Chain A
Amino acid sequence: MNFIKRRILTSIIAFLAVVQLDFFIPRLVPGTAAQILASGATLSPSEVIALTNRFGLNKPLIVQYSIYLKDVFTSWPPNFGNSYQYWPEPVTTLIMQRLPWTILLIVTSLILASTISFVLAGISAVRRGGPIEMTSIYSSIFLWAIPAFWVGMILIWVFAVWLGWLPVFGNVGFNSGTGLNYISSVIIHAILPVVTLTLSIFGVNYILLRGAAQQVLQSDFVIAAKVRGLKSSVIAFGYILRNSLLPLVSLLGFSLASIISAAIPIESVFGYSGVGDLFLDGIGHRDIPVLEGCFFYLTIVVIAFALIGDFLLLRLDPRLR
């Protein structure tokens, strides 16, 4: 099947899978009103009844399912109900407030990590076995293995607690106002989380890129390029890396899932108010609507970015057209 069609199909299937999982996983635990109260929410009895009726919590599963599907697919943005914890805030509203922050964190880290690994891989390809390649490969294995949230904790300790240079929590200061002040506050608060996530992504990226580059390096057309008397830099970037990008971009689509997975604990550690943080909050309070909504949106982000990656791949690789 045509490449892009297949990718879109997979994305749709994944999306549908998420929708199903999102419904069934929480519901399969027995108890309805009990569920709500267990979340420690402070709702008056009439609110509990209203909630039960709205979502059919005391009705058969099939009824709940149809209500759920209707909410998700007919309203825009998809309706996940109201948070138990932050009652009566709709889940979607809560998420939308935080989604930009999460995306900011992920995109910034992704760009930084990809650029650095690309450059280092380029240098390593030209000077094989040199000090740059050696340090890069060992550090990237290390960074791949290290738990991202722990890195965050260490960084907090060093930079916030011990040295006191950077703030500990939050994505923005309390009274930072608007304009430039606001922006600089955002940046300062974002530095540590971004650095943490970047390090984590770099670990994965560099290894993949290097693996791809090594395969390409041994290719005959690279040797043929050398025989043609082309400059090393031209060969490194136009031949080696350019062809290594192809498997890299396609693998990036999959690594996005792990990037999001890493971003969640990072948000928690830094108290960064993104969707991940909200998600974790929901855990502590057993706030099922929030959990569902966050899971849904996080996965949508992954699928969307993966598709973007695929379109990028389409542009890069003439063989797919």
Chain B
Amino acid sequence: MFRTKSAKLGSAIVIGFVVLALFGPLVYPYSPTATSRFHNQPPNYTHLLGTDNLGHDVLSQTIFGARPSIAIGVGAAVGAAIIGMLVGVFAGYYEKLESFFTGFADTIMTLPALPLLILVGTVYIANDVLIVGLLILVLWPPIARASRSQILSVKSLPYIEAAKAGGMKDREIIFKILVPEIAPIAIAYFVLAVAGAIVVVAGLDFLGVGNPNNINWGSMLYWAQQFAFYLGDWWWILAPGLAITLLATGFALIGFSVEEATNPRLRM
């Protein structure tokens, strides 16, 4: 019950944002970069979510921000998922490689992601590609771990033995049987990785890593943090943060539902 309800809710949210991202330019009332003299306005009829201190329309900026968030989040997660699955599957299947890969993955997981990203992002004047690359580096270990443990439990099933005895090559076994077998749990972790990436990227932008003049949710909060409290512009703080939260929650709901569904012992 829980999983279908929440999966549906999550999907609805995600689809909503995707639509916004794709059709944004048709939807937002003002250009996100347009300043105006109506600054610091609370939500009203002309500016549904108010304006910031330079007169930007918060609603338009929020809608616009959906694109980079989704793009980076999904992009990084896809890369992480591919690497993670490959590593996890091979580590699970070929035991000799196992300790090496597990140790490697564990080590990466021990490193705190945000400081590393901040460090690199600052020193190298971050651009999107770099950030995505780093995110992939940080996000693949959990996917690899999940894939590996799933492989381990599936590897010894009788029909795998039968396939081997029947002469199937390892490569075939891996790609035709094992990968589809672990696909569900990998998808679950992939979706969660998207959620994580979105939040982390927002955090980076919030801290000023990457160009604060880009328009995305994190940088909106970057500026908001400096001005909104003193000026009393609560809407400026609320809108971007809420957007991040909703989108991440949407993905999280999907991810956790899939995880619960693929694990037969978990049940509500």
Contacts and interface: CB of A to CB of B under 8 A. Distances in A.
Interface size classification for chain B: 35 or more
A33 B266 CA distance: 59
B241 A150 contact: yes
B127 interface: no
B252 interface: yes
B195 interface: yes
B229 A215 contact: no
Interface in A134-175: 137-138, 141-142, 144-147, 149-150, 153-154, 156-157, 161, 168
A305 to B, nearest CB: 10
Interface in A250-266: 253-254, 256-258, 260-262, 264-265
A265 B206 contact: yes
A10 B237 contact: no
Interface stretch (B20-28, B81-89, B242-250): B242-250
A142 B253 CA distance: 9
B157 interface: no
Interface in B204-245: 206-209, 221, 224-225, 229, 232, 234, 237-238, 241, 244-245
Q: Is the interface of B mostly helix, strand, loop or mixed?
A: helix
A149 B109 contact: no
A302 B115 CA distance: 12
Nearest to B200: A261
A258 B122 CA distance: 19
B106 interface: yes
A299 B118 CA distance: 13
Nearest to B192: A144
Nearest to B218: A147
Nearest to A291: B119
Interface stretch (A14-22, A54-62, A179-187): A14-22
Interface stretch (A63-71, A91-99, A188-196, A278-286): A278-286
A161 B229 contact: yes
B115 A298 contact: yes
A280 B119 CA distance: 9
A286 B124 CA distance: 11
Contact of B202 (A6, A147, A261, A306): A147
Nearest to A141: B252
Contacts of B116: 21, 295
Interface string A98-139: 000000000000000000000000000000110000000110
Given A14-B110, A264-B115, A153 B265 contact: no
Contact of A157 (B123, B234, B259): B234
Contacts of A29: 123-124
B195 to A, nearest CB: 6
A226 B202 CA distance: 48
Residue from A11, A149, A269, A295 having most chain B Cβ neighbours under 10 A: A149
Given A269-B225, A284-B208, A25 B110 contact: no
Contact of B123 (A25, A137, A153): A25
Contact of A265 (B203, B238, B241): B203
B113 interface: yes
A145 B195 contact: yes
B266 A214 contact: yes
B244 A147 contact: yes
A14 B252 contact: no
Nearest to A134: B2
Contacts of B118: 264, 279-280, 283
A129 B245 contact: no
A168 B228 CA distance: 13
A288 B123 contact: yes
24 contacts: A9-B103, A10-B103, A10-B106, A17-B111, A21-B119, A137-B2, A138-B6, A146-B244, A147-B244, A147-B245, A149-B206, A153-B221, A154-B237, A156-B229, A218-B265, A254-B110, A257-B113, A260-B115, A264-B115, A264-B118, A291-B122, A291-B123, A298-B115, A306-B110
Interface of B: 2, 6, 99, 103, 106-107, 109-116, 118-120, 122-124, 195, 199-200, 202-203, 206-209, 221, 224-225, 229, 232, 234, 237-238, 241, 244-245, 248-249, 251-253, 256, 259, 263, 265-268
Given A21-B119, A150-B245, A280-B207, 5 more contacts: A147-B248, A150-B221, A150-B241, A280-B118, A286-B122
List the 8 shortest-distance A-B pairs measured between CB atoms, nearest first.
Answer: A261-B114, A145-B248, A150-B241, A145-B249, A257-B112, A145-B252, A260-B112, A14-B110
